Amino acid sequence: MSISNRGQAILAGVGTEFGGNGYTHETIEVVVTDTMCNGSLLVGSVEAAVADIATVDGILDDPKFPMVGTAGAPEVGQSLDFFSVGDTVMVRVAKNNVIANSDVINFSDANYDGETLTILEGKGVKTQSASTVFDYK
């Protein structure tokens, strides 16, 4: 049996009577980097570093990317299973009115540590911790 313990980057979004998540997400094209993870903070279509905090405008929401480990790099033992570095791919990016998992979102050079994401907060994006530890025996 296959088991995935990759965390969810986006916990919830505002529902609309029209359905879908066109109100909260956009699909954009990105070039895959070796630090790209589910929950990577983005400026346009590029991964954001901590220095870019004032211009962060999206959160990569694609569980095909590995979970973040330390210093913004993929978690030890996880790799880019579906993509290779340098691939150009279409991905879902949360932009508006969602609750993001603060334990999963990250910068390219550091983990997220509660910093204010000015542009995203102005678009109704909130952060919340939702860490789950699985103990398989």
Q: Does 135 map to a domain?
A: no
For the stretch 100-132, pLDDT in tens is 888 888 998 888 888 888 888 888 888 888 766
pLDDT of 56 reads 93
Residue 87: partners with Cβ closer than 8 Å, 6 or more residues away: 31, 32
Q: Of the candidates 72, 122, 113, which has an alpha carbon nearest to the alpha carbon of residue 95?
A: 122
d(CA 137, CA 133): 13
Q: Of the candidates 47, 46, 43, which has an alpha carbon nearest to the alpha carbon of residue 55?
A: 43
Q: Does 3 map to a domain?
A: no
Q: Does 121 map to a domain?
A: yes
Q: Does 51 map to a domain?
A: yes
Q: Does 100 map to a domain?
A: yes
For the stretch 33-85, pLDDT in tens is 988 888 999 999 999 999 999 999 999 998 888 876 555 555 555 566 788 88
Q: What is the pTM of this model?
A: 0.80
Q: How many domains does the chain have?
A: 1
Q: Of the candidates 95, 80, 4, which has an alpha carbon nearest to the alpha carbon of residue 35?
A: 80
pLDDT of 19 reads 54
pLDDT of 2 reads 46
Q: Does 134 map to a domain?
A: no
Q: Does 2 map to a domain?
A: no
Alpha-carbon Rg for the chain, nearest whole angstrom, is 14
Q: Does 131 map to a domain?
A: no
| Domain span holding position 121 | 10-125
